[in-house]
Structure 1
Amino acid sequence: MSTKNDKPRAPRFLWQAGLTAAALTLLAGTVAPAAATAAPSGHNRPELQAILQEGVDGGLTGVQARVRNERGEWAGSAGVRELGSAAAPSTNGRFRVGSVTKTFIATMTLRLVAQGKVGLDDPVADQLPEFGLDRRITTRMLLQHTSGVFNFTGDFDAEGKWVPGIVSAGKDWVDNRFTTYEPQELVRFALAKGPRFEPGADWRYANTNYVLARLLIERVTGHTFAEELERQILRPLGMHATTAPGFSAQITGPHAHAYYQYDDNGTLRTADVTLQNPSWISGGGDMISTTQDLQTFFSALMGGKLLPAPLLVEMRTPNPVAGYGLGLWTTPFPFPAPSCGAPIVHHNGSVQGYATLMYASPDGSKTLTASMTYVDGVGAETKAAAFMTATQKLLNETFCAGRAEAAQPTR
């Protein structure tokens, strides 16, 4: 397994939060005009449609968003489904959700805690002895990113020097994006790099934590992650468009395309990277979903339908270093917050060319879910401000009833 990798293209503090340039940076490009579409529930939301169009004008190839608040539910899209085509993205097309996968894994793990099958503060080594984990690492530490394990997609050392992870950027990734990684392989690669800090002593976002949590779920239940996801969450909530693809490169059903620009010996090339083997990220972010399914899931979770109240409190209790609970953010860092100060919980995500938003009020009554597609890679960071501005405006319209729509993005 090669360890060659590009350095992060996003500001250091964002990279340490596990956010590649794919999450926060968007490349400007020429996009063929397409008719924007909306699926309102008995009302028009031109202000929301305008925000989506602004995102496309700022460089996104396509965007779809779904809002539910006191004015009802609205879904719309803008831009194009695929470069060179005039077709607009579906208002409920499928997309790669990236790190939103972590909230699903955390929820499933906490459900096992509720059933007495997993101890939140028990050593993970008891369930996964084959990795020789430090016995001080607990389930809670995995879910809150306080275990200290190395992030297999790359991390900084104590002196601030970048330590490469597996290939996840550049020409090497494009050429090898159908490579299969076993989750155990990712864990062993990370553990060979040594810990970043003593278990529980600090906070550092690491995808390795959630690959371990995924393996923990499989070990305890005796089922694959996909089987357990279906049994615990997807079937009960009627989420028919959400999948854990494992090693499959396909996205079934209607979906927008994602792109990646890279340097090929001095020549810039752009590849359609919609199809890829997502095993390189595994439990760190391999799932596929829709805005409707994410809304259904997050609303049910925050509304107390998936976890007992005490464990939901645990999930939403932030780590003091970064404001991260168990599988979700409970404070704004590192993304914008509603300018009116309305409380939110969220977990966003990204995979090359796809960026996902998933926000809710603490009771789940208000939600914002969205997918943005764009040309990732070389030059993508030039559109970070446009992404943040669009996110800020969508948040204000969802959670502030538009009262702070002119506010500047959180920095």
Structure 2
Amino acid sequence: MAAVAVAGLAVTQVASAGASEERSRPVHDKTLQAGLEELVRDGSLPGALMSVRNREGRVTNYTAGVGDIRTRSKVPSDGYVRIASNTKMFTAVAILQLVDDGRIALDDPVEKFLPGVVRGTGDGATVDGRNITIRQLLNHTSGMTSAMPLMPKGILPIKDRYFDARELLDAALTQAPTFAPGQERTWSYSNAGYVLLGLVAQQVAGRPFAEVVTDRIINRIGLRETYYPGPGDRDIRAPHPRGYLPPKDDKGEIIAGELIDITRFDPSIAGAAGKMIATPSDVNKFLVALQDGRLLKPGGLAEMRRTVAAPGFPEGWRYGLGTIEMKLSCGITAYGHGGDADGFQTRAAITPDGRAVTVAVTNDEAGRAEVLTFFDKALCATK
């Protein structure tokens, strides 16, 4: 589950977009439309969709390719997609809201909220919640495993399997830590750490994590096309393009020229690290609300954008608390995230002056570099 763009400590005020100015208009940037069409030209990415909110609050939606390779139907404009690790932004905001409320401190140990729960077993015997802080989970410096031990052979064998968050955590606790928590100059992206944060938020708020996100974020800022799927929910609300993944041979190598429809599966394997579904325009609305202060106090947003080095990420990228700082080719720093769930690849970010872009394509294992290059171009555009 990859990520994309966010940084800077200064809180920049962005005008809140009302219903009238958020409405899509048929004014397309021809260069961006051509770039989106180039992404799908060879068919490895069947469909692409993008929503752009310009600096004045006007929204334009773009599509390219096909929404279904069998029927050759069009990609639905601003359709629902699995936003994968963009979910981490929502999880981080939920935690930081509890920090704003004085119910959590970023440097509190996990043990304070889940006593006796975080104790490693087997190879993970040294993992201990008394030595891991909330901040370390948020910025991936806890040392918790980057592995997903419950899906060793990918999504297909478990696509209809439901996983409870505690089951995900217990499996992660059998894995050796990547490094000691907070060890100098160490960073490792961990979905398990965000599953654990979901359990912390649930414990502190006294409600299921899905309710915490829905009540404190989604409903609070009026995101009508964003949701946290409930237990057993394997579908995506309509309209949506279909998501695909390439088949692999016995050696794990991709079989070129073929695609498997993986639109329907149980996303519980990702939990608070990557379970959510939304439309591109709604993700942009979330980014605007985050930046203009409707979700966090200035101090909370500043903490979110305090970054650490993120080895393995592209040059110029750093990780904050559930958000990434990304230096764009045009010299601007954008703020956001991104994610890869089976069948969908998404990238989302906002610039300091309020230009928000969310791009989604319907194969998470192809064209990643090309998508990032196009995403950078879309954020740097002036229209």
TM (norm. structure 1) is 0.78
Distance in structure 2 (CA, Å) of the matches to 1:216 and 1:107:
13
Of the three residues 164, 172, 192, the one matched with 1:190 is 172
Q: Percent identity?
A: 33
- Is the contact between residue 152 and residue 187 of structure 1 (CA under 8 Å) also seen in structure 2? no
Counterpart secondary structure, 1:80: strand
- 1:237 matched to 2:221? The reply is yes
- Is the contact between residue 267 and residue 275 of structure 2 (CA under 8 Å) also seen in structure 1? yes
| Counterpart residue type for residue 287 of structure 1 | M
Where structure 1 has 5 or more consecutive residues not aligned to the other structure, the ranges are 1-17, 24-38, 154-164, 403-411
Deviation at residue 362 of structure 1 after TM alignment: 3.1
Where structure 2 has 5 or more consecutive residues not aligned to the other structure, the ranges are 5-22, 120-127, 312-317
Deviation at residue 390 of structure 1 after TM alignment: 2.4
Seen in structure 2, the aligned counterparts of structure 1 residues 243 and 124 have a Cα distance that, compared at 3 Å, is same
Cross-structure match for 1:140 = 135
Counterpart secondary structure, 1:79: strand
Distance in structure 1 (CA, Å) of the matches to 2:26 and 2:246:
41
- 1:176 matched to 2:158? The reply is yes
Deviation at residue 303 of structure 1 after TM alignment: 1.3
Of the three residues 84, 92, 104, the one matched with 2:78 is 92
Query: More relative contact order in 1 or in 2 (CA 8 Å, sep 6+)?
Result: 2
Cross-structure match for 1:360 = 350
| Counterpart residue type for residue 19 of structure 1 | A
Deviation at residue 385 of structure 1 after TM alignment: 4.0
- Is the contact between residue 351 and residue 379 of structure 2 (CA under 8 Å) also seen in structure 1? no
- Is the contact between residue 323 and residue 336 of structure 2 (CA under 8 Å) also seen in structure 1? yes
- Is the contact between residue 246 and residue 286 of structure 1 (CA under 8 Å) also seen in structure 2? no
Deviation at residue 296 of structure 1 after TM alignment: 0.7
Seen in structure 2, the aligned counterparts of structure 1 residues 168 and 359 have a Cα distance that, compared at 3 Å, is farther
Seen in structure 2, the aligned counterparts of structure 1 residues 366 and 167 have a Cα distance that, compared at 3 Å, is same
**Larger displacement relative to structure 2 (233-242 or 101-110):** 233-242
Cross-structure match for 1:157 = none
- 1:52 matched to 2:36? The reply is yes
Cross-structure match for 2:94 = 108
Cross-structure match for 1:156 = none
| Counterpart residue type for residue 68 of structure 1 | R
Deviation at residue 187 of structure 1 after TM alignment: 1.1
| Counterpart residue type for residue 178 of structure 1 | D
Deviations 1:25-82 (A, max 9, x none): xxxxxxxxxxxxxx85363422221111111114321111111224632111111111
Cross-structure match for 2:16 = none
Counterpart secondary structure, 1:347: strand
| Counterpart residue type for residue 142 of structure 1 | L
Deviation at residue 349 of structure 1 after TM alignment: 0.6
Counterpart secondary structure, 2:284: helix
Deviation at residue 218 of structure 1 after TM alignment: 0.7
Counterpart secondary structure, 2:375: helix
Distance in structure 1 (CA, Å) of the matches to 2:152 and 2:93:
27
Distance in structure 1 (CA, Å) of the matches to 2:355 and 2:101:
29
Seen in structure 2, the aligned counterparts of structure 1 residues 259 and 43 have a Cα distance that, compared at 3 Å, is closer
Cross-structure match for 2:207 = 223
Cross-structure match for 2:50 = 65
| Counterpart residue type for residue 290 of structure 2 | L
Cross-structure match for 2:8 = none
Of the three residues 250, 266, 271, the one matched with 2:235 is 250
- 1:338 matched to 2:316? The reply is no
Distance in structure 1 (CA, Å) of the matches to 2:86 and 2:369:
22
Seen in structure 2, the aligned counterparts of structure 1 residues 263 and 86 have a Cα distance that, compared at 3 Å, is closer
Counterpart secondary structure, 2:358: strand
Deviation at residue 270 of structure 1 after TM alignment: 3.6
Seen in structure 2, the aligned counterparts of structure 1 residues 240 and 321 have a Cα distance that, compared at 3 Å, is closer
Of the three residues 301, 322, 325, the one matched with 2:320 is 325
Distance in structure 1 (CA, Å) of the matches to 2:262 and 2:70:
15
Seen in structure 2, the aligned counterparts of structure 1 residues 175 and 116 have a Cα distance that, compared at 3 Å, is same
**Larger displacement relative to structure 2 (131-140 or 213-222):** 131-140
